Chain A
Amino acid sequence: MRIPCPYCGERGNAEYAYLGDAGVSRPQTPLGAALEGATLDAWMNYVYLRDNPAGAHRELWYHASGCRAWLIVTRNVSTHEILNVEAANGAIRDGRVGAL
């Protein structure tokens, strides 16, 4: 696979490390809150549960052997077609990543 890094240009996948679904966001849990119910569900979901859709998927990739940028790569996991690549920086905070 070839992934176009917005900073470095198109590079082979050997330069990248894969993390997984970019659509999960870290729950906000106040100090001292009990780990149960919706809070526990949210954390289990964030840490463990992942969808495995056929088709387009937003994923986190790290340009480990390049510029060290974390990227959100939109990839059709059935065809490996890369549909979009953007820097992760701020995208999740800004709510620009979620289910497709």
Chain B
Amino acid sequence: MVDAASNKPARAAAEFAPVRQTAAAPSAASPYRLATGGIVDRSAPLLFSFDGRNYGGLRGDTLASALLANGVRLVGRSFKYHRPRGILAAGSEEPNALVELREGARREPNTRATVAELYEGLAAVSQNRWPSLWFDCMAVNSLFSPIIGAGFYYKTFMWPASFWEKLYEPMIRRAAGLGRAAGMPDPDTYEKAFAHCDVLVIGSGPAGLMAALAAGRAGARVILCDEDFEFGGRLLAECRDIDGRPCAQWAGSLLAELASLPEVRMLKRTTVFGAYDHGVYAAIERVADHLATPSPHMPRQRVWNIVAKRTVLAAGAIERPLVFGNNDRPGVMLGGAVRAYLNRFAVKPGTRAVVFANNDDAVATLLDLAAAGISVQACVDPRGADAGVVRAAAQRIGTRFVNGAVVRARGGHRLRAVDVSAVAEPWHKLTFPCDLLAMSGGWSPSVHLSSHLGGRPQWSDALAAFVPGPLPRGMSVAGAAAGEFGLAACLAGGAKAGAEAAGDCGFAAKPVAMPGIGPEPIGIAALWRVRAKRGKAFVDFQNDVTVSDIELAEREGFRAVEHLKRYTTLGMATDQGKTANVNGLAIMAELTEKTIPATGATRFRPPYTPVAIGALAGHHRRKDFKPTRLTPGHAWAQEQGAVFMETGLWLRAQYFPQPGDNSWLDACNREVTATRNAVGVCDVSTLGKIDLQGTDAGLFLDRLYANAMSSLPVGRARYGLMLREDGFVLDDGTVSRLAEDHFFVTTTTANAARVMQHMDFCHQVLWPDLDVQFVSVSDQWAQYSLAGPKAREVLQKLVDGQHDISNTAFPYMAAGEVTVGGGVPARLFRISFSGELAYEISVPARFGDAVIRAVVAAGAPLGIRPYGLEALSVMRIEKGHVGGAEINGQTTARDLGLERMVSSKKDFIGRVMAGRPALLAPDRPAFVGFKSVGDGAIGAGAHFLPVGAEPSARNDEGHVTSVAYSPTLGHLVGLGLLKGGSKRLGEKMRAYDPLRGRDTLIEVCSPVFYDPEGARLRA
């Protein structure tokens, strides 16, 4: 009557033609759709395709229900053995029916057909098969299953290591991969949203609806989330009466009331996927997943960050498969899923059924199957006397009741029969032909979110299930998620939890009447595996973990639950073992003859279901990854054709190319030469700027900087060096005194925020008594550096006449307030980074654009040129100023040759620790300059080696920090940190750079290459 199941490719080929014709013949009137019932819209037919064939479905279908309605049972191949797989479940726990959804750039792999909402034109293809779903060459993996069992990866691909990248990994990925990602940029947008509420209700089944109603009626701000595209949970899937009405209808009236409550927000298609500290929850809303393409300006998905004072977890429960031979054959389905397809989707998942359950849930399955006109061949229950209600139900519909267990499913691409072993006659196998097996191993409460913060679920022997353990503060659990499996208990538990949650938020509960419900049996006797099973008995369907794998893990000593998980990969697939974990754990408990609590439970972590990285990123992609900061002079620089570079969040002009330039270097050289010979202007608005005021401002700065600042006269500026408390240099900049109690300091662009935080710390935590206030004014002032022998000449055209800026009146390091352009307030600082006569002029940001244009106009007759970061950097290297490459967090003032700046007459941050002996060691790398005496190139990062020494860490004497071609001097100039520092002037060394394959002779020299006397900047 029935053949033995076979996985051989030859067999698959033989079945190819006949089965496909019957199963997938196009039909407008889907052959397995019931004539009436369900909550699908029969007036809204939808066309979709699967593996290139067109089918018809209805609005309200999932891809899974639409496939079943068309008789499509085989939907995928399994991960490791490429076994034919069908649809096991009807919700997000589905381990088998993973497909690639959509096409082109929108293609997404591993989409569960059971949650993919059908839309017109939906295109899906099966995955993990080659060349086709029906004929999959890789199914030969099944023949090798003895060698690709648990621990296969660890044992087989150990050696040699070099084979891993080249051979093993690509091979495994091809053979055992799941779907393919699009490989193209995602055309859709994703966004983030924040919400606050009193009561967050997770799940809209009977418990969740009642909780939301109780809290909503009390007046609390409620957010109700459900992962489904319809609210109602199991009320949509069951054929029960509440208050004399079908339960789905009853749910409809509740939903109407909830929708009318102004403080209740209902988010469907929204999965709460993570619980975090202090009532923070993350949820993913699939805004447009049910559309072919999102509407304009509509995000594809939205990540919610929900802050809830109280939370009611009403996430329901997940049914467990039974573990017997070939329990993965297409047509073997969870009983609750069978009822969902019958009752919600009006789809017959088969024509001849067998029911196999260890619990009273079988009653509803039997009755619903019979009501749909599906002949039930047998009802198999391992329980004896305890199965009375199931036996009675079977009797009622004229089905044979067998006290026993299914030991094996038969059939290949679809179920053909089941072999049953009866308790009374174990030697005699009964075989029942069928194309649907509705199985139930009991229900596991969805405790996931209750344990995200560490609370371990607790085992209940009575329920044969884990129930929530210690809960996150503010969370309560209701309904099936709490182990309350009866409908009446769910409704009552939900109402109570909702009222209590609202009460905790200060809202007095209003009564919610309990509807009338008939009684229902919920008895169960655990059955973790059918011991007489024949064939592969799957525990984790998605990762192809079988009972034999768990037995192997046990034999090899991987018995602890975390070891079991990692050794067998149980629960590590994209479904995170929703249908597998409890069975796997319980089987290990049986094998080790321990209790389940003694065996343990793996912890759940977010996300509850897979979340796309793109959704988590939201709008933070490409240029929007971080904000872009533009200086007030940006538009002007753009007009000059500047090439910009990112420095932190800022865009800064790198150089200003001109026609005929061969490279950036041509532009850079021109800018340096123009500045050294005439005058250049550079936008330095990105510097951190802090305004300090107060009678103790000078004292405060004394404590912050290594050098003295309180002694700075009004109208003068000073270079300042700031240390960290551990003695290393934190930052440098300038300090200017504008009045007795008023200072203005600059920081480097990179450290602006850090220095501000440091100053706040010093003031608030260390020295709160000091009378000083300060604020960041980085964005308030545009600042330009005007450098070159003609800088003063240009400036004199801009600064209003009453201000004397002659060399006598406004000498080197002078600072003061002036006006420019007829009354525009400005601050002028005679400071120089380039080594030329130079000024920095600061104007309120709104004048920044006008002032840079005025500067360039005034300077045009004198040959002014804008210069960018490249030229700025070349000039500071020529002048031997330290920059970010030298102030690298590992250098002290002494290392940088700045020890004379460090005051010994006052306390300051870093003073004591800078005096540690190790930081005073004479062989610490210290700041030097060098010139190339070879002919090779040199780059920053090259290491200093003694000439003739073998390149090794032992012989390493320091490294190159900055290097540039000096157009002024006509040769390469470099800075570095070298052991012994300035004591080694004149020595020849190698600059060794194995990364770039360079090795060049250099000569150590003073770091000040240009105008060492400083005559030019005082001119």
* Interface residues, chain A, with chain B CB atoms under 8 Å away: 1-2, 12, 17, 19, 26-27, 29, 31-32, 35, 39, 43, 46-48, 60, 62, 64, 68-70, 80-82, 87-90, 92-93
* Interface residues, chain B, with chain A CB atoms under 8 Å away: 276-280, 305, 307, 473, 725-726, 753, 756-757, 760-761, 764-769, 904-907, 912-913, 915-917
Q: Which residue of B lies closest to A42 (CB)?
A: B912
Task: Evaluate contact between A88 and B764: CB separation under 8 angstroms.
Answer: yes
Interchain CA distance A93-B766 in the complex, whole Å: 7
Q: Which residue of B lies closest to A81 (CB)?
A: B473
Once A2-B278, A31-B906, A47-B726 are accepted as A-B contacts, the answer to whether A69 and B913 lie under 8 Å apart by CB is no
Task: Evaluate contact between B764 and A89: CB separation under 8 angstroms.
Answer: yes
Task: Evaluate contact between A2 and B307: CB separation under 8 angstroms.
Answer: yes
Once A2-B277, A12-B280, A82-B278 are accepted as A-B contacts, the answer to whether A35 and B765 lie under 8 Å apart by CB is no
Interchain CA distance A12-B917 in the complex, whole Å: 43
Interchain CA distance A68-B916 in the complex, whole Å: 33
Q: Which residues of B contact A89 (CB under 8 A)?
A: 764-765, 768
Q: Which residues of B contact A68 (CB under 8 A)?
A: 756, 760
**Tally of A-B residue pairs with Cβ under 8 A?**
69
A100 to chain B, nearest CB (A): 18
Q: Which residues of B contact A92 (CB under 8 A)?
A: 765-766
Task: Evaluate contact between B915 and A70: CB separation under 8 angstroms.
Answer: no
Given A1-B280, A89-B768, 6 extra CB contacts under 8 A: A29-B912, A31-B904, A35-B913, A69-B760, A70-B761, A93-B768
Task: Evaluate contact between A35 and B916: CB separation under 8 angstroms.
Answer: yes
B889 to chain A, nearest CB (A): 14
Once A2-B277, A12-B280, A62-B757 are accepted as A-B contacts, the answer to whether A31 and B765 lie under 8 Å apart by CB is no
Interchain CA distance A17-B756 in the complex, whole Å: 13
Task: Evaluate contact between A17 and B757: CB separation under 8 angstroms.
Answer: yes
Q: Which residue of B lies closest to A82 (CB)?
A: B278
A79 to chain B, nearest CB (A): 8
- Could you write out 14 A-B pairs with CB less than 8 Å apart? A1-B278, A2-B280, A19-B761, A35-B916, A47-B913, A60-B765, A62-B757, A64-B753, A68-B756, A69-B760, A87-B764, A88-B764, A89-B764, A93-B769
Q: Which residue of A lies closest to B757 (CB)?
A: A62
Contact of A35 (CB < 8 Å), options: B277, B760, B912: B912
B652 to chain A, nearest CB (A): 24
B475 to chain A, nearest CB (A): 14
Q: Which residue of A lies closest to B905 (CB)?
A: A31
Q: Which residues of A contact B279 (CB under 8 A)?
A: 2
Once A35-B916, A47-B726 are accepted as A-B contacts, the answer to whether A90 and B768 lie under 8 Å apart by CB is yes
A5 to chain B, nearest CB (A): 13
Closest 4 CB pairs of A and B: A2-B278, A80-B277, A70-B764, A90-B768
Q: Which residue of A lies closest to B915 (CB)?
A: A35
Interchain CA distance A46-B766 in the complex, whole Å: 13
Task: Evaluate contact between B768 and A1: CB separation under 8 angstroms.
Answer: no
Interchain CA distance A69-B280 in the complex, whole Å: 23
Q: Which residues of B contact A80 (CB under 8 A)?
A: 277-278
Q: Which residues of B contact A27 (CB under 8 A)?
A: 912
Q: Which residues of B contact A82 (CB under 8 A)?
A: 278
Q: Which residue of A lies closest to B917 (CB)?
A: A35
Q: Which residues of A contact B767 (CB under 8 A)?
A: 93
Choose among B278, B305, B473, B760 the residue with the greatest number of A CB atoms under 10 Å from its CB.
B278
Q: Which residue of B lies closest to A30 (CB)?
A: B907
Q: Which residues of B contact A60 (CB under 8 A)?
A: 761, 765
Interchain CA distance A88-B753 in the complex, whole Å: 20
Task: Evaluate contact between B277 and A1: CB separation under 8 angstroms.
Answer: yes
Q: Which residue of B lies closest to A22 (CB)?
A: B765
Task: Evaluate contact between A26 and B761: CB separation under 8 angstroms.
Answer: no
Q: Which residues of A contact B768 (CB under 8 A)?
A: 89-90, 93
Task: Evaluate contact between B760 and A43: CB separation under 8 angstroms.
Answer: no
Task: Evaluate contact between B765 and A88: CB separation under 8 angstroms.
Answer: yes
Q: Which residue of A lies closest to B760 (CB)?
A: A68
Task: Evaluate contact between A26 and B760: CB separation under 8 angstroms.
Answer: no
Task: Evaluate contact between B757 and A43: CB separation under 8 angstroms.
Answer: no
Contact of B907 (CB < 8 Å), options: A31, A87, A88, A90: A31
B145 to chain A, nearest CB (A): 45
Interchain CA distance A92-B592 in the complex, whole Å: 56
Contact of A62 (CB < 8 Å), options: B307, B760, B904, B905: B760
B703 to chain A, nearest CB (A): 11
A41 to chain B, nearest CB (A): 12
Interchain CA distance A35-B907 in the complex, whole Å: 14
Q: Which residue of A lies closest to B767 (CB)?
A: A93
Interchain CA distance A44-B905 in the complex, whole Å: 23
Contact of B761 (CB < 8 Å), options: A32, A39, A62: A62
Interchain CA distance A26-B703 in the complex, whole Å: 13
B541 to chain A, nearest CB (A): 36
Q: Which residue of B lies closest to A40 (CB)?
A: B916
Choose among A17, A70, A90 the residue with the greatest number of B CB atoms under 10 Å from its CB.
A70
Task: Evaluate contact between B757 and A64: CB separation under 8 angstroms.
Answer: yes
B707 to chain A, nearest CB (A): 15
A92 to chain B, nearest CB (A): 6
Interchain CA distance A89-B773 in the complex, whole Å: 13
Interchain CA distance A96-B66 in the complex, whole Å: 68
Q: Which residue of B lies closest to A17 (CB)?
A: B757
Q: Which residues of B contact A48 (CB under 8 A)?
A: 726
Choose among B753, B905, B912, B913 the residue with the greatest number of A CB atoms under 10 Å from its CB.
B912
